[in-house]
């Protein structure tokens, strides 16, 4: 009765922008979550690719505890040692030269969009303002970001959208070439389309995109909000494709559960942001950056974490392909990279998600018919065995 009362209060007092499951989680460790009534769940969603180290990883917890006792927040009018250390670490291990910190992926992408506009307005007086993005992309929920997002269902009801965005087919270089004109400023893409159904591009696509941007003086923005911080088996997904972007955005896994976003850019482009041209009250505060520093250092310094991510991802893919062979009438495709994987079904997949939830397995549905799996990087083979057992049971019932 107490649980029902709490759920009723949630519905009464909180805006209904989420279709929530009837559960209240109160504790987490590693791959596991426990509800208020003591039921145990295996988390293959990881807060939507956020909890890269799992729930309550000791290094993250200690970083939070220590920093909370020292200093939680100051204004960006003052220097913050952990912000500096985190920026230095991200620059050292990426293509970039300068970092701007915010609170989320949407804010990181907003900063990238503003940086492109400022850079080209300074040079071309408003003649080059358009940003090309992909159909089925997802870049966030702010007005600029849903305008950049290539999914009309997410834009419905928010007209008028912001001008200056053009959407093309993902993984089609000819589409990009046709869409480019004298007003084009940048190309903004996800290395893997997460919300769009875990779509992985062909091997040479990003090399061709990079070449096209170089030929036409375009800025290449890679939205690594979902793919960054080890999710694909490398620290950043762009490393798989043999190219470097000009701007990269991060969030989700960066803080391991503590809200933080980052926009990383090359020096020449970063200089377009001058004092007062962009800001964020909470962006990169001491608590968030101390935690993110611990998370990123752990991913980098743990010698086996990224290799285990690849290995566990390969085991998952093989297991999913086994299910596809057994259920050809239900499973259309299996795809992904590292521990960002999708299983496309012949039907809308919410029923499968619900059935797995009832059996203590947390996954989710994206692009309406694709099951998304993005577990913590600390996943073990026994966790995979449990998942496959539940999926086999659920799919057997469906078939």
Catalytic residues: 138, 223, 252
∠ CA(328), CA(330), CA(332), 5° rounding?
Answer: 70
180 vs 372: CA distance, rounded Å: 32
∠ CA(108), CA(14), CA(280), 5° rounding?
Answer: 25
305 vs 378: CA distance, rounded Å: 7
Q: DSSP per residue over 124-190, as a string?
A: HTTS--EEEEEBT----SSHHHHHHSB-HHHHTT-PSPPSSEEEE-TT-HHHHHHH--TTEEEEEE-
Q: Which are the contacts of 82, defined by CB distance < 8 A and separation ≥ 6?
A: 67, 286, 289, 290, 293
Q: DSSP per residue over 336-395, as a string?
A: EETTEEEEEESS--HHHHHHHHHTTEE-EEETTTEEEE---TT--HHHHHHHHHHHHHHH
197 vs 370: CA distance, rounded Å: 6
Q: Which are the contacts of 188, defined by CB distance < 8 A and separation ≥ 6?
A: 109, 112, 113, 131, 132, 133, 137, 139, 148, 221, 223
Helix (H, G, I), strand (E, B) or coil at 262: strand
∠ CA(254), CA(141), CA(168), 5° rounding?
Answer: 95
Angstrom distances, CA of residue 67 to CA of 27, 70, 81, 86, 291: 21, 5, 11, 14, 8
């Amino acid at each position: 009765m107490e649980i029902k009362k709490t759920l009723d209060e949630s519905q009464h007092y909180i805006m209904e922008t989420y279709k929530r499951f009837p559960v209240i989680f109160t504790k987490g460790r590693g791959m596991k979550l426990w509800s208020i009534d003591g039921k145990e769940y295996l988390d293959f969603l990881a807060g939507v690719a956020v909890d890269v180290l799992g729930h309550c990883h000791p290094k993250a917890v200690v970083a939070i505890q220590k920093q909370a006792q020292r200093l939680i927040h100051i204004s960006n009018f003052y220097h913050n040692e952990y912000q500096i250390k985190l920026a230095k670490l991200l620059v050292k291990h990426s293509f970039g030269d300068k970092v701007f910190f915010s609170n989320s992926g949407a804010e990181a992408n907003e900063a990238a969009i503003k940086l492109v506009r400022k850079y080209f307005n300074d040079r071309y007086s408003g003649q080059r303002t358009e940003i090309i993005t992909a159909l089925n992309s997802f870049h966030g929920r702010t007005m600029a970001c849903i305008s950049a997002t290539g999914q009309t269902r997410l834009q419905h009801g928010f007209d008028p959208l912001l001008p200056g965005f053009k959407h093309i087919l993902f993984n089609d270089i000819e589409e990009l070439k046709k869409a480019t004109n004298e007003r084009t400023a940048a190309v903004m893409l996800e290395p893997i389309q997460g919300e769009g159904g875990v779509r992985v591009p062909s091997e040479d696509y990003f090399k061709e995109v990079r070449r096209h941007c170089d030929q036409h003086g375009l800025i290449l923005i890679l939205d690594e909000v979902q793919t960054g911080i080890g999710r694909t088996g490398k620290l950043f997904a762009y490393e798989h494709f043999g190219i470097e972007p000009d701007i990269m955005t991060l969030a989700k896994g960066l803080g391991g559960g503590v809200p933080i976003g980052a926009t990383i850019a090359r020096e020449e482009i970063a200089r377009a942001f001058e004092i007062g041209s962009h800001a964020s009250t909470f962006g990169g505060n001491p608590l968030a950056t101390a935690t993110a520093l611990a998370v990123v250092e752990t991913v980098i310094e743990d010698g086996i974490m990224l290799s285990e991510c690849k290995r566990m991802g390969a085991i998952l893919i093989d297991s999913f392909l086994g299910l596809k062979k057994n259920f050809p009438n239900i499973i259309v495709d299996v795809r992904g990279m590292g521990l960002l994987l999708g299983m496309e079904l012949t039907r809308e997949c919410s029923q499968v998600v619900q059935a797995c939830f009832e059996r203590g397995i947390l996954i989710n549905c994206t692009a309406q018919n694709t099951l998304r799996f993005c577990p913590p990087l600390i996943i073990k083979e026994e966790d995979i065995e449990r998942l496959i057992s539940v999926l086999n049971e659920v799919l057997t019932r469906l078939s």
